[in-house]
Amino acid sequence: MTGDIACHGCDLLVNVASLKDGESASCPRCGSFLTRARSDAFSRVLAYAFAGVILLILANSFSFLSFAASGLESVITLRQTPRAIWDYDMPAVAIMVAAFIIVIPAVILGMLLMLCIPLQQGRYRPWLVTTAKWIFLAQNWAMVEVFIIGVIVSLVKIAAMATIVLGISFWAYAGFTICFTLALANLDRYQCWERIEALESA
Amino acid sequence: MPELVSATVPATTAASRGLSACHVCCKLAPAEVHHCPRCGSAMHLRKNDSIQRTLALLVTACLLYIPANLFPIMITDQLGSSEGSTIMGGVILLIHHDALPVALVIFVFSVMVPSGKLMSMFYLVWTVKRHSPVSPRQRTIMYRVTEFVGKWSMVDVFVVAILVALVHLGGLLAIRPGFAALSFAGVVVVTMIAAESFDPRLIWDAMEKNGRKK
Ligand SMILES: [Zn+2]
Ligand SMILES: [Zn+2]
């Protein structure tokens, strides 16, 4: 049974014990991606996650966008984006926006560090199982890349009305989007859990 | 690609060996076990009541989809007059302003993706219920695509959030969120949960049952 994965697309049992470093496996029956073996995966995740933390802090420290017309100007920070909708009596939408673009990504980032630092050093920690579980449950609900597209679309929509300036926070958030996406892309579900189990039994 | 030995043997599934796979950590455990021995998540041979749950969520999403298209998603107040714009209205306005690429982006993410997603999920549920023999591989890919594009329809909700926060110049110009913003966000979230409740392995189970009957 060791080295077997049940394909999550069609339930076929596939043995991946013979995967060498750098190789990946897909299901021969339905084509779903199964796993990629990479010895430096956790270092990669950590590098992107650390860069992501710095960029997310920057993104929350400066102005995000500014909008000026007829001598009047309005400047927003990243956090004001959900707050304005809240003020218009749509708390549900405000909570969703805040959760999808800031809260969930930030929590995932923090958990990635808690998970991958011990995994990379090969040390067992009692919180490994819980953090890994929450990362894999929550990752579909982080929408940083969708938000960046939303920002670009909004800018084009109002570009004719006024002068728009992209703040430092915007560029930091764009960089954060790249780092966050790459960090999650390098975290392989199967390999991660195999490593946790190996550390647990050691 | 390494050689995958088990691929040559006809369809040895985890279920056929009496094993269920944890959807959180991929651990294989005997089907009688209810909690994953590795991560503690609830374990099932197949997702619980997958078809009924997916169908109920899809119907909810369809109901939310009606106000999402009828009501304005945002309202522009300019010099005392206010004007609402619906999702489709926004797309048409952008075409009039010669902003074709953005019109296309909004059209794809806010019209094609959500409606296409609802239709493909209904189709998948229907084929599974009927034990349809239509290419299971293609249907699995269809499911993967549906699952992947789900969150991209949030673009329009984010656009509203940004414009509402950014565009307010004294009494001159302001943008308010419309009721459709709430119902459309609901559509996106509910269809994402529907896609998560659907179990693509049922597509293949139906195939194996068909094969045995013949
Ligand atoms: Zn498969
Ligand atoms: Zn598990």
C-beta atoms of B7 and A14 within 8 A = yes
Q: Work out the percent of chain A whose per-residue pLDDT is above 90.
A: 84
Contacts for B85 with CB less than 8 Å, ≥ 6 apart: B72, B73, B74, B75, B76, B93, B178
Same domain as A107, residue A18: no
Measure B1 CA to nearest chain A CA, in Å. Answer: 6
C-beta atoms of A143 and B17 within 8 A = no
Q: Report which bound ligand comes closest to the CA of B140.
A: 1
Sign of the dihedral through C-alpha B35, A104, A110, A190 = positive
pTM metric for this prediction: 0.91
Answer whether A48's CB lies under 8 Å from A183's CB.
yes
Looking at residue B209, its pLDDT comes to 66
Q: Which of A81, A83, A193 sits opposite B25 (nearest CB)?
A: A193
Contacts for A29 with CB less than 8 Å, ≥ 6 apart: A7, A10, A12, B7, B11, B137, B204
Same domain as A121, residue A78: yes
Closest chain B residue to the Cα of A6, Cα to Cα: B14
- The phi, psi pair for B18, rounded to 5°, reads 75, 25
Answer whether residue A201 shows pLDDT above 90.
no
Looking at residue A73, its pLDDT comes to 87
Same domain as A23, residue A57: no
Query: Taking ligand 1, which is a single-atom ion, which protein residues have CB atoms under 5 Å away?
Result: A 7, 9-10, 12, 27, 29-30, 32
Q: How far apart (Å, rounded) are the C-alpha atoms in residues B85 and B88?
A: 8
Q: Does A201 touch chain B (CB under 8 A)?
A: no
Q: Into how many domains does chain A fold? A: 2
Residue among A93, A152, A196 with most chain B CBs within 10 A, to mutate: A93
Looking at residue B187, its pLDDT comes to 96
From residue A122, give the alpha-carbon distance in Å to each of A22, A40, A47, A116, A128. 20, 12, 17, 9, 12
Model confidence pLDDT, tens digit, residues A12-55: 999 998 899 999 999 999 999 999 999 899 999 999 999 999 99
- The phi, psi pair for A72, rounded to 5°, reads -105, 150
Looking at residue B6, its pLDDT comes to 40
Same domain as A173, residue A108: yes
From residue A146, give the alpha-carbon distance in Å to each of A150, B157, B172. 6, 10, 30
Q: How far apart (Å, rounded) are the C-alpha atoms in residues B59 and A187?
A: 35
Same domain as A44, residue A33: no
Strands (E), B49-100: 74-78, 81-85
Looking at residue B79, its pLDDT comes to 82
Distance of CA B164 to the CA centre of its chain: 26
Looking at residue B10, its pLDDT comes to 55
Same domain as A156, residue A122: yes
Same domain as A45, residue A32: no
Q: In chain B, which stretches have pLDDT less than 70?
A: 1-10, 209-214
Sign of the dihedral through C-alpha A162, A163, A168, A172 = positive
Sole residue written with tokens 């590795």: B38
Q: Which residues of chain A neighbour B47 with C-beta distances below 8 Å?
A: none
Evaluate whether ipTM surpasses 0.95.
no
Q: Which residues of chain A neighbour B12 with C-beta distances below 8 Å?
A: 12-13
CATH of the domain at A84: 1.20.140
Model confidence pLDDT, tens digit, residues A136-164: 999 999 999 999 999 999 998 888 788 89
The residue range of the domain holding A183 is 40-201
DSSP state of B130: T
Please name the residues between 135 and 174 in chain A that touch chain B, using a CB distance below 8 Å.
136-137, 140-141, 143, 146-147, 149-151, 153-154, 156-158, 160-161
Same domain as A78, residue A121: yes
Sole residue written with tokens 């699952």: B147
Same domain as A24, residue A90: no
Q: Which of A25, A30, A154 sits opposite B163 (nearest CB)?
A: A154
DSSP state of A26: E
For residue B63, the surrounding DSSP H or E stretch is helix B50-70
